[in-house]
Copies of this chain bind each other. A is one copy, B any other.
Amino acid sequence: MTADTPNEQARTRIRAAYDPELLRRAGHHLVEQLSDHMAGKQSGAGPVLPWSEPPALVREAAEVRDHFLPPDADRAMLAERFGELVRIMLDRGLNLHHPRYIGHQVPASVPVAGLFDALGSVTNQVMAIYDMGPWATAAEWAMVERLGEQIGWRVGEFSGLVTHGGSLANFTALLTARNVALQDCWERGVASSAVQPVMLVQSDAHYCVSRSAGMMGLGTSQVIRIGLDARRRMDPNRLDEALTAQRAANRPIVAVVACACATPIGAYDPLDEIAEICHRHEVWLHVDAAHGGCACLSPRYRHLLSGLERADSLIWDAHKMLFVPALCALVLYRDRSHLFQTFHQDAPYLFDPSAPGLAEYDSGLRTVECTKRAAAFGLWGVWSMFGPQLFADMVDVTFDMGRILYEKLQAAADFQPLHEPQCNIVVFRHLPPSMAHAGPEQLGRFQLELRRRVIESGDFYIVSTNLDGIGALRVTIINPLTTPDDLDQLLDTLREHGKKLVINTI
């Protein structure tokens, strides 16, 4: 160390924090705790959710935060403190690997996927500019190319990127559509259109689609909702009529947004027909395949996506049904010429004029994020270990479980499935004898209350929703370790909590 080094004490403390031997010791601690935790949860030990009221938990997190060690703590003390913190965190999180976690569209992820992410986190691999994250870039490209091929496209003709979540992915794709439809709006603003532009959207589309219209300055009232058929799929005839009406009114059309599948009951829109209509009206077709894009990895289920290859843009969340940890959402464009239109860059050599050929590899030109974590490491790693068969297996098993649950609900006199599932999302109601004379509103409230009791008990983690304004229970079998036995238990658990709820209500 030279004489002009400032803050020698500060440097000593920093070296203690960066100590590779602390990393080694803490890391081995973590692996032991995580593996034990994983084994326990997979075998169904303990509650799915250890429920606490949020203000109490925030207070606890603040108290722990303030019990840091003194600045001269040695390696052993630091490693011990690390172990304590890991214990606190594991004991208070939601246990997605518990077979009775069948809740939101967030999976019990393949455990080793998280280790590939960890490599990225500890070494802080990022993207934005190619040379900041060469391997992060390469791994992302390899997966974008592979999944695009799975849709039916040819490498070199399409383009894609990974971003932080489905909402951001939908926003990114729709922003591209907006800039293509309204040529000067990037510079001049949406106000430059003489007539207000519209977006035509599946009525059950995720809230982020309408939110995107609010965010990008179109206004949520310019979102036209297209009606559904009896199975809650977009009705192609109604889409055709709406497009004809909008064209007649001369209103610019930013995009048609279809779903594969939609959130509420997992309904897959008829993409072939929709694509044909969009082609005829010359409008951009965007497909939200965040959840359902996975079907193209399963020979048994890929028919659900027939027509997806005709979309102009689509999104696909690997952190849903490709079972990697959040967040890893893909945006794919059928035509790679749209590569730089999201942010309207005419000059793809923007980032480094001394190496213009590299611009396509600079993710920051194409994603909302500038610095972006190596979000595709988990996906690339799992694929490189197990190949496509594992992904097909996970789709098949969980989609099949949707059907099995449906059949169990049909067979039970006190349960009512509200649709025939196309995938692993199932919406239903519990109808105990005590509810026989309840009106629809009371029946809906009962489902919501029941759900809250069940999750707070820790017995199961499920979700509630509203279908046509009436509360219902909703399950996504997104833990491939969940068995038919668990589903039998679900029905019994709901009956049990339902009884107590009725007694208390009376």
Contact partner, A143, options B28, B65, B108, B112, Cβ 8 Å: B65
Per the bound structure, the CA–CA distance linking A91 and B415 in Å amounts to 56
Chain B residue numbers with a CB within 8 Å of A393 are: 7, 10-11, 13-14
Per the bound structure, the CA–CA distance linking A125 and B95 in Å amounts to 8
Question: Is the Cβ of B369 less than 8 Å from the Cβ of A167?
Answer: yes
Contact indicator per residue, chain A 151-185, by CB within 8 Å of chain B (1) or not (0): 00000000000001111100100010000000001
Contact indicator per residue, chain A 451-485, by CB within 8 Å of chain B (1) or not (0): 11001000001001000000000000000110111
Residue with the greatest number of chain B CB neighbours at <10 A, chosen from A94, A108, A352: A94
* Nearest-Cβ distance from residue A262 to partner chain B, whole angstroms: 14
Question: Is the Cβ of B6 less than 8 Å from the Cβ of A93?
Answer: no
Query: A7 with B396: in contact, given A134-B52, A196-B191 (CB under 8 Å)?
Result: yes
Per the bound structure, the CA–CA distance linking A108 and B10 in Å amounts to 16
Question: Is the Cβ of A384 less than 8 Å from the Cβ of B136?
Answer: no
Question: Is the Cβ of A217 less than 8 Å from the Cβ of B220?
Answer: no
Question: Is the Cβ of B189 less than 8 Å from the Cβ of A368?
Answer: no
Contact indicator per residue, chain A 186-228, by CB within 8 Å of chain B (1) or not (0): 1111111100100000000011100100111111111000000
User: Which stretch from A114-122, A234-242, A301-309, A426-434 is at the chain B interface?
Assistant: A114-122
Query: A122 with B126: in contact, given A42-B20, A372-B327 (CB under 8 Å)?
Result: no
Residue with the greatest number of chain B CB neighbours at <10 A, chosen from A81, A90, A123, A381: A123
A233 CB-CB contact with B under 8 Å: no
Chain B residue numbers with a CB within 8 Å of A186 are: 214, 219-220
Per the bound structure, the CA–CA distance linking A93 and B17 in Å amounts to 22
Contact indicator per residue, chain A 36-68, by CB within 8 Å of chain B (1) or not (0): 111100100000011110100110111011011
A491 CB-CB contact with B under 8 Å: no
Per the bound structure, the CA–CA distance linking A139 and B203 in Å amounts to 36
Query: A119 with B86: in contact, given A167-B369, A361-B54, A368-B167 (CB under 8 Å)?
Result: yes
- CB contacts under 8 Å to B, within A125-159, are 125-126, 128-139, 141-143, 145-146
* Nearest-Cβ distance from residue A73 to partner chain B, whole angstroms: 8
Chain B residue numbers with a CB within 8 Å of A69 are: 385-387
A406 CB-CB contact with B under 8 Å: no
User: Which stretch from A96-104, A264-272, A276-284 is at the chain B interface?
Assistant: A96-104
Question: Is the Cβ of A115 less than 8 Å from the Cβ of B214?
Answer: no
* Nearest-Cβ distance from residue A46 to partner chain B, whole angstroms: 13
Contact partner, A17, options B65, B110, B118, Cβ 8 Å: B110
A436 CB-CB contact with B under 8 Å: no
Question: Is the Cβ of B81 less than 8 Å from the Cβ of A327?
Answer: no
Question: Is the Cβ of A135 less than 8 Å from the Cβ of B92?
Answer: yes
A370 CB-CB contact with B under 8 Å: yes
Per the bound structure, the CA–CA distance linking A64 and B131 in Å amounts to 20
Which B-chain residue is minimally distant from A390 (CB atoms)? B17
Per the bound structure, the CA–CA distance linking A457 and B409 in Å amounts to 65
Contact partner, A380, options B65, B189, B449, B485, Cβ 8 Å: B65
Per the bound structure, the CA–CA distance linking A5 and B483 in Å amounts to 7
Per the bound structure, the CA–CA distance linking A60 and B94 in Å amounts to 37
Query: A385 with B54: in contact, given A123-B95, A164-B168, A187-B219 (CB under 8 Å)?
Result: no
Question: Is the Cβ of B188 less than 8 Å from the Cβ of A191?
Answer: no
Which B-chain residue is minimally distant from A139 (CB atoms)? B61
A23 CB-CB contact with B under 8 Å: yes
Question: Is the Cβ of B396 less than 8 Å from the Cβ of A10?
Answer: yes
Per the bound structure, the CA–CA distance linking A136 and B143 in Å amounts to 28
A34 CB-CB contact with B under 8 Å: yes
* Nearest-Cβ distance from residue A435 to partner chain B, whole angstroms: 17
User: Could you jot down 29 A-B contacts, CB within 8 Å?
Assistant: A10-B394, A14-B390, A14-B397, A22-B111, A22-B112, A23-B34, A38-B123, A57-B138, A58-B141, A64-B142, A65-B142, A69-B386, A81-B384, A82-B112, A90-B123, A94-B132, A104-B129, A108-B124, A111-B122, A114-B121, A114-B123, A118-B121, A168-B168, A189-B190, A190-B217, A214-B344, A354-B449, A354-B451, A354-B452
Additional pairs, 18, CB under 8 Å, beyond known A93-B134, A93-B136, A186-B214? A6-B396, A13-B393, A23-B34, A24-B32, A57-B137, A65-B146, A68-B384, A94-B132, A97-B123, A104-B129, A108-B124, A117-B121, A126-B326, A164-B165, A189-B222, A190-B190, A215-B343, A327-B372
